[in-house]
Amino acid sequence: AELKVAKSELKKAQSLLQLDELKCRKRVLRRLQYCDENDVITQKGRVSCEVSAADELMLTEMMFGGIFTDLSTSQLAALLSCFVFEE
């Protein structure tokens, strides 16, 4: 009986930790304007969803920040190669 109670309490604690982590992640996404205050995904959020690389948020921030605009083709290839990974 004590084991069941302990397992139940552990599950509740884990759920609370996951909920807290989810809230923190949502806060970051709102601050970066990937979603609005109603949790509706913005254009920036949609773009990030389509990026499949090592760091979707970083690449999206770079795109929307205009980082790639003044780079040569070889500079762009070198920079983007840093984000390539195999699934």
Model's pTM, two decimal places?
Answer: 0.74
Q: What domain count does the chain have?
A: 1
Q: How far is 9 from 57, CA to CA, in rounded Å?
A: 35
57 within a domain of the structure (yes/no): yes
8 within a domain of the structure (yes/no): no
CB 35 within 8 Å of CB 26: yes
3 within a domain of the structure (yes/no): no
Q: How far is 43 from 36, CA to CA, in rounded Å?
A: 11
Residue span of the structural domain in which 72 resides: 46-87
pLDDT, position 44: 96
Task: Give Cα separations from 26 to 23, 41, 68 (angstroms).
Answer: 5, 11, 27
Each residue's pLDDT tens digit in the chain (87 positions)? 888 888 888 888 888 889 899 999 999 999 999 999 999 999 999 999 999 887 899 999 999 999 999 999 999 999 999 888 766
pLDDT, position 15: 87
Of the candidates 50, 47, 71, the one whose C-alpha atom is nearest the C-alpha of residue 81 is: 71
